[in-house]
Chains A and B, each alone.
Chain A
Amino acid sequence: MIRRLPAAVLLAALAAAGAVPLLAGVFETKLRLPLRPKLAVTGRERISIAPFLVASRTSDRREAVRVADVDLDAEFRRYLAKLLSKRTKMTVVAMPADVKLPATALRELAENGPYWRGLGARTGADLLLTGVVDFRVENKSGYKTEEYRSPVDGRTYTRQVLVESTGFTFDVSVLAIDARTGARLFLENFRDQKEKPKRAADEMAGLFENLFSLEGQLLGLFVVREREANRYVFD
């Protein structure tokens, strides 16, 4: 015997499956919402990237020699300068090679207005960037249980297999300074983690994967970004 479902139940089931069209007179539309940048730049500013403090090179001593080859400060500044000159209208001014930071703590750096004013005058920049970078590489290994089918008797067994991976963590705090006044404009922190399914994966490749993931967030400090969102509009 076929029982008829009540209309309300049918509608609820269809709604759950996402099959019910919107009511007549309403439609859903996608908006691209602007996200204004953290820093109100006109786009024509001259920006210069001062050295960044390097918090630690690695958390795994056995890999220290290999990671020591990565000059994290230089790599990050080169990447950031390239990103800013390509993707913003700002002019990236070269930082003199002999510039040394006056402190090894971020708070002291942020409060050293006279130093930044002097550096601003020397470089002719409107904005200065500095901060702290940290890149950690962790080799991990452990056992996991998996099923396998024996080629001898065709039965399924469980076995322990060794799993090795390399974890990359990149952490950066970006401090922006008004080069004319030496005042701190903002301090933003970004972090990205990646994991590669083998031991001792290439550090440089890991570092740049982290950096590419953070690209949008870093650019969001200086340029308008967009975010997609759905809204209902009445006809």
Chain B
Amino acid sequence: MAKKGFWHEALFRFQKAAALSPNDPELQNNLAVAFEATGDTTRALAAYRRALELAPEETHIRRNYARFAEYYTAAQRAGFGADAPAPTPTPPPMPTP
């Protein structure tokens, strides 16, 4: 679903899966991306933070979070929407082994 860009469908499935495995960082990451794609930045931020909490060293999650933080901060600075607190800066992602 996500590969085809059907983000609302993908979100529904990720939410179901995350309810079954709430401690899976990859699922939290996917959930965050789906929230972002559907415009829910507040829940995307929460899901990214949860994913990082579960897997603080995971490169792809860190990269996603860094990109999200950039978008989110720019959107806030421009006064566009975003109503959740700004994400904390993250260190640059580790190189892929």
Residues of A whose CB lies within 8 Å of any CB of B are 15, 20, 23, 26-27, 29, 31-38, 186, 220, 227, 229-234
Contact = CB atoms under 8 A, between A and B. Distances in A.
B80 A36 contact: yes
Contact of A231 (B3, B64, B80): B64
A232 B64 contact: yes
Interface residues of B, number: 26
A20 B59 CA distance: 15
Given A29-B2, A34-B39, A229 B63 contact: no
Nearest to B83: A36
Interface string B56-69: 00001101100110
B96 A33 contact: no
Contact of A230 (B7, B30, B61, B67): B67
A203 B29 CA distance: 51
B26 A231 contact: no
Interface of B: 2-3, 5, 7, 26-27, 29-30, 33, 36-37, 39, 60-61, 63-64, 67-68, 71, 75, 78-82, 96
A230 B66 CA distance: 11
B71 A231 contact: no
A185 to B, nearest CB: 11
A31 B33 contact: yes
Contacts of B96: 15, 20, 23
B53 to A, nearest CB: 16
Determine which residue in B2, B3, B5 has the highest number of CB atoms from chain A within 10 A of its CB, and name it: B2
A36 B22 CA distance: 30
